[in-house]
Amino acid sequence: MFQLNENYLKLPGSYLFSTIGKKVAAYSAAHPEEKVIRLGIGDVTQPLAPAIIKALHEAVEEMGHAETFHGYAPDLGYAFLRETIAKADYQDRGCRIEADEIFISDGAKSDCGNIQEIFAPESRIAVCDPVYPVYVDSNVMAGRTGEYDAQTGTWSRVIYMPCTAENGFVPQLPQETPDLIYLCVPNNPTGTALTRDQLKVWVDYANSVGAVILYDAAYEAYISRDEVPHSIFEIDGARSCAIEFRSFSKNAGFTGVRLGFTVVPKDLKSGGASAHSLWARRHGTKFNGAPYIVQKAATAVYSEEGRAQIRDQVAYYMRNAKVIYEGLKEAGYEVYGGVDAPYIWLRVPSGMTSWDFFDYLLETAHVVGTPGSGFGPSGEGYFRLTAFGNYENTQEAIGRIRALGR
């Protein structure tokens, strides 16, 4: 008789967004006259930029002619895109990254979920708390996390690094030594970011204990402060201890188009084996290449007009972030994030849990956000609002919250 992978049975249900969905549906059914504004889910709302649409049309046209038709793409990505990325995102910033260290994929979620496969089953992982749930869940599926304690919402073998207002949302070096350290900068959900000096501490630590930093920079395009690095490879020593994930979802609106990439430097070695060759092997075996038309569209992101257009889109979302941040602050809330990321993280009023505040906001302001406890135990007492809505709705939502007073 077959047996299923029991590790999957240990996963708590995808409680967060389904519970939010049910609560909002129930509320809307009972109050059809109310306009509910959703600032909960991290999906973009602006259409693709004209330069990207033009590149897509041209690539589709090429696919219609035998001379310019493209079949399977190279597993690791087309050279035209890998070279463009290596130059624009790394070499022009002074990072020593070559095109053949860049692996094109269908998005950062796949890569940061799959990367754990190239590491030993007994690897200990460390995660920031709160954080994007994919890091822990993908290790649960691989049986690397021990047992779940429903009371505390923690896994016995996972090293949690609390990031709260008390430590300025900067993870402290753990007491137990991990093998794999997930860092998400700028951070989802807190919207905060590590500076170059803060990241250097982690790079030095990882090199000294022989750990790997799995660095998720999906929100890199939103960085506004000079002291926040755009890549971990801006930090000396990162080539021997870091892998970086990037996405076209949030900088260029590719959430429905799908494209991302992962940088695995050739210096990242354990014994005689290199992470680069294992990831190339894994990618080549399990992934058949991202679509030609999408890789062409991604290349347009780096053209002069593409850059200008996506800069405007990021600015549009960051104007929303400012409306949310300043509006909540003026309303008396304790607010974080929103400067280097499209997420605003606020402390819920004392005496309320994250879910109490969710209900309160839905019922009184008809605004939907995400309870912080859904991102990890240290997210309790916090709440996430996203800047990905449209400007008018964002303004209206914040106006309603302000009108409630504190």
| Residue 188 sits in the site that holds ligand PLP (CB under 6 A) | yes
SS3 at position 245: strand
Residues 25-44 binding ligand PLP (CB under 6 A) are 42
> Going along 100-177, which residue ranges are E strands?
102-105, 125-129, 148-149, 154-155, 159-162
Q: Measured between alpha carbons, how far is 139 from 148 in angstroms, rounded to an integer?
A: 12
Over the range 184-196, which residues count as b (16 or more CB within 10 Å of their CB) and which as e?
A: bbbbbbbbbbbee
**One of 90, 132, 155, 261 touching ligand PLP (CB under 6 A):** 132
Q: Measured between alpha carbons, how far is 181 from 216 in angstroms, rounded to an integer?
A: 11
State the nearest-atom distance from the C-beta of 73 to ligand PLP, in Å: 17
Residues 6+ apart with CB under 8 A from 369: 39, 40, 358, 361, 383, 384, 385, 386
| Residue 244 sits in the site that holds ligand PLP (CB under 6 A) | no
State the nearest-atom distance from the C-beta of 68 to ligand PLP, in Å: 28
Q: Measured between alpha carbons, how far is 301 from 89 in angstroms, rounded to an integer?
A: 12
**One of 76, 85, 183, 218 touching ligand PLP (CB under 6 A):** 218
Binding piece for ligand PLP, criterion CB under 6 A, among 56-64, 104-112, 151-159, 168-176: 104-112
Question: In 10 A of CB 84, how many CB atoms?
Answer: 20
State the nearest-atom distance from the C-beta of 259 to ligand PLP, in Å: 7
Q: How many CA atoms lie within 13 A of 343 on its CB side?
A: 29
| Residue 276 sits in the site that holds ligand PLP (CB under 6 A) | no
| Residue 109 sits in the site that holds ligand PLP (CB under 6 A) | yes
| Residue 274 sits in the site that holds ligand PLP (CB under 6 A) | no
| Residue 260 sits in the site that holds ligand PLP (CB under 6 A) | yes
Please provide the distance, in angstroms rounded to a whole number, between the alpha carbons at the two ends of the chain. 60
Q: Which is nearer to ligand PLP, 192 or 247 (CB)?
A: 247
| Residue 251 sits in the site that holds ligand PLP (CB under 6 A) | no
Q: Which is nearer to ligand PLP, 42 or 306 (CB)?
A: 42
| Residue 190 sits in the site that holds ligand PLP (CB under 6 A) | no
Q: Which is nearer to ligand PLP, 132 or 287 (CB)?
A: 132
| Residue 85 sits in the site that holds ligand PLP (CB under 6 A) | no
- In angstroms, what is the C-alpha Rg of the chain? 21
How far apart, in Å, are the Cα atoms of 230 and each of 128, 173, 235, 245, 318? 19, 22, 10, 12, 17
| Residue 247 sits in the site that holds ligand PLP (CB under 6 A) | yes
State the nearest-atom distance from the C-beta of 113 to ligand PLP, in Å: 9
| Residue 216 sits in the site that holds ligand PLP (CB under 6 A) | yes
SS3 at position 309: helix
Closest CA to 260 of 77, 73, 124, 42: 77
State the nearest-atom distance from the C-beta of 67 to ligand PLP, in Å: 32
The residues binding ligand PLP (CB under 6 A) are 42, 107-109, 112, 132, 184, 188, 216, 218, 247, 249, 255, 260
